[in-house]
Structure 1
Amino acid sequence: MKHISILVPETAVIESIADPGYLFRMVNEFLESSGKPALFHVQLVGLSKETRLNNSLFSVHADKLIDEVKKTDLIFIPALSGHMKTALELNKDFLPWIIDHYHKGAEVASLCIGAFLLASTGLLKGKQCSTHWLHATEFREMFPDVTLVDGSIITEEQRIYSSGGANSYWNLLLYLVEKYTDRDTAILASKFFAIDIDRESQAAFMMFQGQKDHEDIEIKKVQEFIESNYQDKITVDQLAGMSALGRRSFERRFSKATNNTVVEYIQRVKIEAAKRSFESSRKNITEVMFDVGYTDTKAFRDVFKKITGLTPIEYRNKYNKQAVPA
């Protein structure tokens, strides 16, 4: 029997507490219906017996307090909400408990921005991690010794798991079901919950908003210029000249401020504009390509797929249901 501890943190997103429990209890039912014994013992574990969430709209009752759990095999850290530093302060008493059980052999999995609480343990130092794409910049600033993998749905390293944004944590849950049971059970669970199994990237869902949470005024001006002129051909030398810096100095300063190279930033701005056009207009692929400043179909397609994980046609068909020509 595998003992699963689902934490009940303050400010948690209630779905990310309920969903793991629901899934693993259903997997027990699947196993029993096929003549096999139930495999998972699932408990909610908290700092107090009752935790009120969503401005006390919900009340979650823990099965056990942390000091009552002497051994566990898998710890789930649900997604948090609100101001991250405040949320981490409210939940800091979980940290030594998580660290202790990890060193005793437990596996630890964070869901969405539960990665912030996981990273606060120090267990991720020097390791890879996934989290919601919207919080990537904040995460990097708070935990520079953790390698955040952009766009990843699941990361796994040394018995530590993390998932990408929002409902992509279901893919991590299915991944763990397969690890603990078998492929057939994971597929059955994916069909029961109508979850696309084996999705590897959250890139198609990412909205690029420009990394402007920095104090470099000159670089912000360059970013704004790129965003206002994405339809034109923009060169690194042109932008360096605007900032009155040599090319190498400009590129280093830009990367430090934005976590992107200049070329990557230009590409991401152009592709974000293309995504919006595909979602809301009836323009074909070539028209959109020209609108965002590309003239080479292959180059546009390659960059688009690199950033979103989908080809332009696949993206348009997924997010725009109006029939339009290719």
Structure 2
Amino acid sequence: MESSQISVAILVMREASASTIYGMHDLFKSANRDWQKMLNRGSGKESIYPILVSNDGLPLSVDSGVNIVPDTSLEKCPEVEVICIPDVMPSPREFGSELFSEVLLDWLRKRYSKGAIIAASCSGPMLLAEAGLLDGFDATVHWAWCGMMRNRYPKITVQEDRSLVISGSEQRLIMGGAGTSWMDVALYVIARTINMEVAIQVARVWLIDWHSIGQQPFACLSKTQKVEDGLVARCQMWIEENYTIANPVLAMVQLSGLSEKNFEDRFSMATGMAPIEYVNALRLEEAKRLLESSELSVENITNEVGYDDLNFFNSYFTRKVQMSPEQYRKHFGLVRKLIAKEITSLPSDADFT
């Protein structure tokens, strides 16, 4: 490493994905180097020196089965300006403090107290939360983990609609929410530690499009995993087939045999969502699917998913998804059509093996 380079430690954990670890590594190596190559000016001088760091520095196999050889261990890691935390692949239900050693959490606390910037993407911000570094601050995390973060760490203000949040003391905690937000995080680190122009150059070389629309349009609003409460699970299964009917919550109450208040309390306790919120989430997910895949008018889709008030549907959809039904169709309908076009253009005997 040269004295003029910015040093960035990238954590390597068994629960992480190789694409995020190596993707960050390659973007950082690209900074101030590859743009010059593209313009036939030779190879520019690398501005960032990435270091792969694990608990013990020994080779390990990460979640996807890729074997990674770290550069060093936590104990031997030199002082760095930035620490990057990749994703953590276990599901929210599998999350527990046992995933992260106290050695690692203490290392993060000490490095942060010495002035390091810590950047985490996807579910990686859960480490910051577990280390207590986010208490009293805004944060974001992958949409599937937002509920877990909010419930487990009540001192944190979770901004689930945002794909990038800068927070903490001296704004030294950088968090990207959804899966590929590690690109946003890496570009932000490059812009902050070098300059904006270099970050833009990297984005242009790698064809990276900033996730400015946030992560809510990508989120599955209905967390439909079955719960341990058998009665609630039975109501879940029933409502997933009958959410378009009038008065769906009342129908679930009658199915449960409980009083309305007891049912709502029990359902909310089991699922983390009020019954009407759960129904609306199911309806919105179906509306999103229809907007992507059909030519039905927004008014017809409103009726298809169980609403009879177009203005209410438009307002509710926009508030929850962070874009209007028309905007959603334009963005995601186009993506679906482009993928479908590429698939149908393949020869009939195309070999996918």
TM over 0.5: yes
TM-score (norm 1): 0.82
Question: CA RMSD of the aligned region, Å?
Answer: 3.4
Report the Cα offset of residue 174 of structure 1. Answer: 2.0
The verdict on how the C-alpha distance between 1:186 and 1:301 changes in structure 2, with shifts beyond 3 A counting, is: farther
Report the Cα offset of residue 143 of structure 1. Answer: 4.1
1:61 and 2:74 equivalent? no
Report the more deviating stretch, 83-92 or 262-271.
Answer: 83-92
1:289 is matched with 302
Q: Deviations over 1:294-320 (max 9, x none)?
A: 233222222222222232223223333
The verdict on how the C-alpha distance between 1:256 and 1:126 changes in structure 2, with shifts beyond 3 A counting, is: farther
Report the Cα offset of residue 46 of structure 1. Answer: 1.8
Report the Cα offset of residue 271 of structure 1. Answer: 0.7
2:88 is matched with 80
Report the Cα offset of residue 280 of structure 1. Answer: 3.2
Question: Is this contact kept in 2: 1:279–1:319, CA < 8 A?
Answer: yes
The verdict on how the C-alpha distance between 1:101 and 1:145 changes in structure 2, with shifts beyond 3 A counting, is: same
Report the Cα offset of residue 223 of structure 1. Answer: 4.3
The verdict on how the C-alpha distance between 1:275 and 1:56 changes in structure 2, with shifts beyond 3 A counting, is: closer
Report the Cα offset of residue 108 of structure 1. Answer: 1.1
Structure 2: state its 5+ residue gaps: 339-353
Correspondence for 2:187 among 174, 182, 186: 174
2:347 is matched with none
Question: Is this contact kept in 1: 2:34–2:205, CA < 8 A?
Answer: no
The verdict on how the C-alpha distance between 1:175 and 1:213 changes in structure 2, with shifts beyond 3 A counting, is: farther
Report the Cα offset of residue 274 of structure 1. Answer: 0.9
Question: Is this contact kept in 2: 1:5–1:75, CA < 8 A?
Answer: yes
Report the Cα offset of residue 226 of structure 1. Answer: 4.0
Report the Cα offset of residue 4 of structure 1. Answer: 0.9
Q: Deviations over 1:188-243 (max 9, x none)?
A: 32222222225241112122343556555555455445433322333766766766
Superposition map of 1:95-110 within 5 A: 95-110=105-120
SS in structure 1 of the partner of residue 123 of structure 2? helix
Structure 1: state its 5+ residue gaps: none
Q: Deviations over 1:158-191 (max 9, x none)?
A: 1212221211221222223222334333333222
The verdict on how the C-alpha distance between 1:11 and 1:219 changes in structure 2, with shifts beyond 3 A counting, is: closer
The verdict on how the C-alpha distance between 1:73 and 1:196 changes in structure 2, with shifts beyond 3 A counting, is: same
The verdict on how the C-alpha distance between 1:235 and 1:47 changes in structure 2, with shifts beyond 3 A counting, is: closer
| Distance in 2 (alpha carbons) for counterparts of 1:55 and 1:192 | 28
1:47 and 2:47 equivalent? no
Question: Is this contact kept in 2: 1:171–1:199, CA < 8 A?
Answer: no
Q: Deviations over 1:62-94 (max 9, x none)?
A: 222212224221111111224654795365432
1:309 is matched with 322
Question: Is this contact kept in 1: 2:18–2:64, CA < 8 A?
Answer: no
1:20 is matched with 24
SS in structure 1 of the partner of residue 14 of structure 2? coil
| Distance in 2 (alpha carbons) for counterparts of 1:28 and 1:184 | 9
Question: Is this contact kept in 1: 2:248–2:279, CA < 8 A?
Answer: no
Superposition map of 1:148-227 within 5 A: 148-158=158-168, 159-210=172-223, 214-216=227-229, 219-220=232-233, 222-227=235-240
Aligned AA (1:89) = L
| Distance in 2 (alpha carbons) for counterparts of 1:126 and 1:303 | 30
Report the more deviating stretch, 83-92 or 174-183.
Answer: 83-92
- In the alignment of these two chains, the number of paired residues is 322
Report the more deviating stretch, 136-145 or 95-104.
Answer: 136-145
